[in-house]
Amino acid sequence: MESRKLTSDAHLIVQQFLESQGYTDALAAFLREAAPVLEDIPKSLPTPKPLLETLTDIRMNQLHSQLGQLNMPSEIEERDFATPGNNTMPNEIGSIYKDIHSVNIILARTASVSVAPAWQDLEANPEMTSKTVQALISAAADRTVKFTLLDQPHGDDQPGQVFKILQPHDGVALDIDFHPHHPELMLTSAMDKSAVLTNTITGEEHQKFKDHTKFVIRAKFAMDGAAIITGAHDKTVNIYKVKEDHNQSNGSLPTYVLDKTLNFKGAVEGMCVLPPSKNRSPTVVIGTRDDNYLHYVDLTTYSTVKYNMNVNKDDWVSFTPMEISASPHNEGRYLLVSTDSPAGRQILFRTDSALQLFDYYGVPTDGFSTPRHVWDRSGKYFYVTGNDNKIYCFSVGTQQVVGTLDGHTSLVRGLYMDHARNMLVSCGFDKTVRTWINASTLCASSCASPALHPSDSGDMALDH
């Protein structure tokens, strides 16, 4: 019986591999010659692990054996991983925005943004100089950054309508962040090799940084707003600090000056500002091409510590850390890295360490992929994009795919998690922005058809 199952698994693995690699002729020949075996395989037989993932597991096990040690979680981590999630992560389509942009959408996120008051606001309060609105902010290939109302009307504009359009760059915007204490100060970076601060109340440029020589792929505020960090394909990271003579008590917006340039082996791809912790100074983590190390940069002293991403500690570069983020529920104790490995590998590190706690496989990926991921607010699940236009939801503790979000008809380019709303935002080359919410938050009369399909693990429950 076991021999028969192994034979069935082997045939299914070969079929999967030929399909995933696009070997059309070889697949046709295989299906023809193996038809007697394939037709005899029960439909209920679970899909086996893909070939590349199996080979990667074998190699990792060999390395662990050679090293004579395992990456063992601590007792606290074991308890955390053993505690199951409560299935409150977004699992169903909320809204689909089809008319914001008519071109490919690069990124989308939500924010509480300060804007100029509408005439209705001024009628009620002539002294009002600004107001805060809940907005969906998106950037697209037409070089625009658009603001769409989320919850409440603003003047004559209703939820779902674009109420502000900015063009801070001469190229496509690649990253967007907002100042932690000044919601009217938006930071963007772009293909035009610049980073820009824009005042969202006036719509005017507050400050422009032109210190990079190639695409500026990442731009983030430090958690306290005291610094701006930009990373580019020119293999550098620039750190800007607030001008020392700036007096924030007078209500003016801060301005920044270049304070430090850090050089790396390859183009910057992944960058994560770690959340505050009593155990570390303000820190940013950098990942680049052509480098098997993650670089932890202290934003106060600029001292750098690097950790090898290879289990066997060699310097072979087999993947790029394309996306890096810290866990949201425990002061960033875990660091998640999405790679461009053909095995679709995601790695969970212990923060401030080379210790690899878990690997996650199975997301369609190749060397040209730009995978994006986000954590759900509980830290028990994360979402990651695949090359097949789907969004995969993993259980952190079980390492299993517990569901997929289907809907996008072309590449999913951006992901953002609104933890306050428990809402996932996605966008892509199908020119749509989509929000995803938890099915349990929808009333029966307004529920849409389920978009997240549970895997065989049963870890994800749907109301329909």
Q: Amino acid identity of 392?
A: Y
Q: Which has the minimum average pLDDT: 5-9, 183-187, 286-290, 427-431?
A: 5-9
**Short-list 323, 400, 391, 324, CA closest to 358:** 400
| Residue 177 confidence (pLDDT) | 99
- pLDDT interval class at 459 (50, 70, 90): very low
Which residue reads 């306050």 in tokens?
420
- With a cut of 50, say whether residue 48 has pLDDT above it: yes
Judged by DSSP in three states, 368 sits in coil
| Residue 248 confidence (pLDDT) | 53
Question: Domain range for residue 30?
Answer: 2-48
Whether 265 is in a domain gets the answer: no
Query: How far, in Å, CA of 88 to CA of 439, rounded?
Result: 8
Instruction: Provide the domain count of the chain.
Output: 1
What are the pLDDT digits (tens) for 206-264? 999 999 999 999 999 999 999 999 999 999 999 999 997 755 555 689 999 999 999 99
Whether 229 is in a domain gets the answer: no
What are the pLDDT digits (tens) for 369-414? 899 999 999 999 999 999 999 999 999 999 999 999 999 999 999 9
Whether 13 is in a domain gets the answer: yes
| Residue 444 confidence (pLDDT) | 33
Q: How far is CA 447 from CA 99, 454, 459, in A?
A: 22, 17, 21
Q: How far is CA 319 from CA 210, 251, 316, 328, in A?
A: 30, 46, 9, 25
Which residues, in sequence order, are CB contacts of 199 under 8 Å at separation 6+?
184, 185, 186, 205, 206, 253
- With a cut of 60, say whether residue 463 has pLDDT above it: no
What are the pLDDT digits (tens) for 22-39? 899 998 998 999 898 888
Whether 36 is in a domain gets the answer: yes
What are the pLDDT digits (tens) for 299-343? 999 999 999 999 888 999 999 999 999 999 989 999 999 999 999
Whether 292 is in a domain gets the answer: no
- With a cut of 80, say whether residue 428 has pLDDT above it: yes
- pLDDT interval class at 56 (50, 70, 90): confident
Q: Contact 118/133 with Cβ under 8 angstroms?
A: no
Whether 12 is in a domain gets the answer: yes
Q: Contact 188/196 with Cβ under 8 angstroms?
A: yes
| Residue 61 confidence (pLDDT) | 57
What are the pLDDT digits (tens) for 61-99? 555 544 444 456 788 888 888 888 888 999 999 999 999
Q: Which residue has the higher pLDDT, 48 or 418?
A: 418
| Residue 194 confidence (pLDDT) | 99
- With a cut of 60, say whether residue 104 has pLDDT above it: yes
- pLDDT interval class at 368 (50, 70, 90): confident
Q: Which residue has the higher pLDDT, 162 or 57?
A: 162
Q: How far is CA 290 from CA 267, 319, 330, in A?
A: 8, 8, 31
pLDDT above 90: percentage of residues in the chain: 71
Whether 25 is in a domain gets the answer: yes
Whether 367 is in a domain gets the answer: no
Strands in 334-339's sheet, in edge-to-edge order, are 321-326, 334-339, 346-350, 356-360
| Residue 450 confidence (pLDDT) | 43
Task: Please indicate, yes or no, whether the overall pTM of this predicted structure exceeds 0.95.
Answer: no
Structural element, H or E, at residue 259? strand 256-263
Mean pLDDT of the chain: 89
Judged by DSSP in three states, 67 sits in helix
